Structure 1
Amino acid sequence: MTSWEIKGRELVNCTCEYGCNCQFNALPDKGHCHAVAGIQIDEGHHGETVLDGLRIAAIFKWPGAIHEGNGEAIAFVDEKATDRQRNALLR
């Protein structure tokens, strides 16, 4: 398994009434989860690939709770990312 870590700021909003129930081992209050997220990586790596200073955003859609799977996502990777960094962020 590849060693990885990121430190930075995250902004996430989902369709639940308050917070993200799925992150607290609960079910989404509308039966499904739609979310948008953005991350500013201050420090990070995926194996030997340095991710410092990169940004990534994504839109997510799950038919039920996140932990039940079957979700879809589209990611937007910082244009200054190299191919290697982009591949690491999309893993």
Structure 2
Amino acid sequence: MSQSTESAYQLDGTLLEICSCGVPCPCFIGEDPDGGECLGVIAFHLHKGMIGDQDVSGLTVVNVAHIPGNALAGGWRSVLIIDDQATDHQHNALVSAFSGQLGGSLADLAGLVGELVAVERAPVIHEVNEANGQFRIPGIVEAQITPIQSSPDGTTATLRDSAFSTVKDAPAYIGKSTSYRVTLPNHDMTWSFEGRNSIQTAWHMEHQP
């Protein structure tokens, strides 16, 4: 989408990535994906958020994406899914922000998308903390996630300050999916994996035009 009038936003929450890469996902540190492509779900769960005069706290935005090579090179083919708990005004604000129309760093992120196939509304069940739990969009995405506990005391393994980090020094918790399935046949996006990457970290975006 082309950029329109810029507007202020301030968003705080978590970024959750679930994908077809091995553990951990090389895309997250700016390297090429395993097997040459990444079939991913990227969920932005907003603990607090304002877009213009719209309070979007508590809502989730999901990007279901086929990434054909290095994530930073762009060319993503994406379906944007907005939490159906959003009012029409909140929905429109979220679509404008996450499709890049409001400028700032979200416009840079949206610039990685070569083809925005569709924007949809659906119920989002986001029950993941530190790469542990379940993420579901009924009938579309189903994922169960467990953390990678690599130290003797059971602490979850983490990355810090990687390519997609937006909060300095915030840990990105590394996990893997015991199951992960996407079912969007009408958009030619259907896949299923087990034992692949998941990663979750604190996330922040702010823009003051």
Q: State the TM bucket, normalised to the shorter chain.
A: 0.7 to 0.9
Give the C-alpha shift of residue 82 in structure 1. 2.0
**TM-score (norm: length of structure 1):** 0.80
Specify every segment of 5 or more residues in structure 1 that has no aligned partner in the other structure, as ranges.
none
- Name which of 39, 45, 58 aligns with 1:40: 45
**Which residue of structure 2 aligns with residue 26 of structure 1?**
31
Give 1:77-88 correspondences, 5 Å limit: 77-88=82-93
Give the C-alpha shift of residue 89 in structure 1. 1.9
Give the C-alpha shift of residue 19 in structure 1. 2.5
Distance (whole Å) between structure 2 residues aligned to residue 30 and residue 5 of structure 1: 36
**Which residue of structure 2 aligns with residue 55 of structure 1?**
60
Summarize deviations over 1:53-80 as a string: whole Å, max 9, x none.
Answer: 1122231111111111111111221212
Larger Rg computed on CA atoms: 2
Q: CA RMSD in A?
A: 1.8
Where 1:18 maps in the other structure, the secondary structure is coil
Give the C-alpha shift of residue 84 in structure 1. 2.5
Using a 3 Å threshold, how does the CA distance of structure 1 residues 3 and 22 change in structure 2: closer, same or farther?
farther
Which amino acid in 2 is paired with 1:77?
I
Distance (whole Å) between structure 1 residues aligned to residue 59 and residue 67 of structure 2: 26
Using a 3 Å threshold, how does the CA distance of structure 1 residues 10 and 25 change in structure 2: closer, same or farther?
closer
Q: Identity rate of aligned residues, in percent?
A: 29
- Name which of 65, 69, 72 aligns with 1:64: 69
Specify every segment of 5 or more residues in structure 2 that has no aligned partner in the other structure, as ranges.
1-5, 100-209
Distance (whole Å) between structure 2 residues aligned to residue 46 and residue 68 of structure 1: 27
Distance (whole Å) between structure 1 residues aligned to residue 45 and residue 72 of structure 2: 24
Give the C-alpha shift of residue 9 in structure 1. 3.1
**TM-score (norm: length of structure 2):** 0.39
Distance (whole Å) between structure 2 residues aligned to residue 39 and residue 25 of structure 1: 19
Moved over 3 A (4+): none
Where 2:89 maps in the other structure, the secondary structure is helix
Which amino acid in 2 is paired with 1:57?
V
**What number of residue pairs does the alignment pair up?**
91
